[in-house]
Amino acid sequence: MSKLLDPQEFWESIRSEESAAWPVVCVDLNGVLDIPSRWNGKVEKYPVAPGASMFLFRLRLHFNTVVIFTATIPVEFAIEWLEEHDLLKYVHFVTNHKVPAAVYIDDKAICHYGNFDDTLQRAICHVPHWQNHKRLERPQEVEQFISIYDKKPQITDGYNVLEFAAVQYIRQLEGKLHDLESGV
């Protein structure tokens, strides 16, 4: 049986949450099951993340269908990597398409809880776990943006906090641009 998922067939087979395949969990390969050192625009084989096998095993206990989704092209490369690390036995399908699922697990995901300002803040500041060292290298402008955003309890004039921070940040950038153009 092929592990390569045809998204249309999958969609046809899982028309509702009453389907025998439900619940479905989708797990990203790179950054979750492996440990990338960097992204350089090409497909590489990174080492398996410690605990990945037990993690997938435990997912199988709680979800009827485990799908690995990946941006890796060709997808067969991902299947080969899963086989090499003896992980394919826990997986029902592998795809590079987003398919219906109860849960998506991804190292670069930001969960949206209904508040766009909060989601935007977390998206701007997000650094995948495998790049934690980069948290210390954030540009000064981002730090200033965050410090303005953190002052939100002090803003009481009805301004949207994120808009206020964005305006302040843009004013700072405009000032820097003016200084550059003026030769200051």
What are the extents of the domains in the chain?
7-105, 116-182
Q: Output the pTM of the full model.
A: 0.64
8-59 pLDDT per residue, tens: 676 667 767 777 778 889 999 988 998 887 766 667 888 999 999 999 999 9
CATH value of 7-105 in 3.40.50.1820, 3.40.50.1000, 2.60.40.10, 3.40.50.10860: 3.40.50.1000
Res 87: pLDDT: 95
pLDDT reading at 183 higher than 90: no
Q: How many other β-carbons are positioned within 10 Å of the β-carbon of residue 129?
A: 11
Task: Enter the DSSP assignment of 152.
Answer: G
Across the beta sheet with 24-28, the strand order is: 93-95, 65-69, 24-28, 103-105
* The one-letter amino acid at 135: R
Percent helix, percent strand, percent coil in the chain, to nearest 5: 50, 10, 40
96-144 pLDDT per residue, tens: 888 888 899 988 888 888 888 888 888 788 777 766 655 444 455 555 6
